[in-house]
Structure 1
């Protein structure tokens, strides 16, 4: 099967599935922007390291732009996969970073990275998103929302579309 020109790889959160509300909505945005989309099902494991191994084994590639996007534990998986997969862009929603046992600093973060976090997140403290954004000079968007960010789908869609359009502009022939 030929590689897609542009590809978005989603990673869902610990308690959700590969085609939850946010991913389904953002996949529509990605397709409109000319990206192929995959969203592996990690629901059989709550171990972030196992999920990361599965993403590495999948070894997603694109001819021009690979974009990783993750929510909560999927944010951890997406961020940690950057060192090996070398995406052109990274989109994190309430990323579950810096928890004991899985608190290593992600490496290989692309220059085009964006973090969206809810001020009222009671699962992943907003300080985790701020810490990542500060260390990696990522765009940071703090919204009046909770961990799920499902009441901010329009804003998430706009932010994701902006990132995808910027990633497409950095395509290398």
Structure 2
């Protein structure tokens, strides 16, 4: 086994969501252990109210790993993964459709500069405007792949799977 990947789904989604399931399959085929966290009970608290319990759940999962894990997240899952990486060593971050902020939350988005990171976003993201994440990535000089898709990135799943495979290969 190469290590552990913790996958965090978006709000109003589940651990069996399309992107999370597809990325878990890509990782497992390359010899990684995967764990898909379940935030559905946390999400019942609303967007701002779910940040703290989601973060606590992810911290506990990171604490159970033998070595720094790779964090993968979509939307709210990406936001919480980024926050967790500020507190715990992680081997990498693969973040999809990440919001620049969560309205009503006191948590400010940031990332450590020493963690391999790839951000993927849709040109037509109607929930998390591209301008915010483009400015965030530009300020930190982070790689940002922008695809012709909306927030769900459903039409871009094959491209995302290829990028994830390449990302994991750079960590191996």
Please say whether Structure 1 and Structure 2 have the same fold, judged by a TM-score greater than 0.5: yes
Listed one character per residue, the Cα deviations across residues 78-126 of structure 1 (whole Å, up to 9, x for unaligned) are 0000022211110000012323333513243543100000001101101
Is the contact between residue 25 and residue 157 of structure 1 (CA under 8 Å) also seen in structure 2?
yes
Q: For residue 29 of structure 1, what is the aligned residue in structure 2? A: 26
Question: 2:109 aligned to 102, 105, 117, which one?
Answer: 105
- For the pair 1:44 / 2:41, whether they are aligned, the reply is yes
Equivalent of 2:74 in 62, 71, 74? 71
SS at match of 2:119: strand
Return closer, same or farther for 1:62/1:139 CA change in 2, 3 Å cut-off. Answer: farther
Give 3-state SS (helix, strand or coil) of 2:102's partner.
Answer: coil
The equivalent position to 1:16 in structure 2, one of 13, 17, 24, is 13
Unmatched tracts of structure 1, length 5 or more: 169-173
Equivalent position of 1:92 in the other structure: 95
Question: Are residues 1:57 and 2:60 paired?
Answer: yes
Whether contact under 8 Å (2:28, 2:34) holds in the other structure is yes
Partners in 2 of 1:151 and 1:89 — Cα distance? 25
Match of residue 163 from structure 1 = 167
Question: What's the TM-score, normalizing by structure 1?
Answer: 0.87
CA contact (8 A) 1:89 1:110 kept: no
What TM-score, normalized to structure 2?
0.88
Q: What is the alpha-carbon root mean square deviation over aligned residues?
A: 1.7
Structure 1 residue 56 displacement after superposition = 1.0
Task: Give the number of equivalent residue pairs.
Answer: 164
SS of the residue corresponding to residue 44 of structure 1 reads helix
Distance 2:139 2:31 in 1: 31
More helix by share: 2
Cα distance in 2 for partners of 1:122, 1:164 equals 29
Equivalent residues of 2:82, 2:109 under 8 A apart = no
Structure 2 unaligned residues grouped into runs of 5+: 44-49
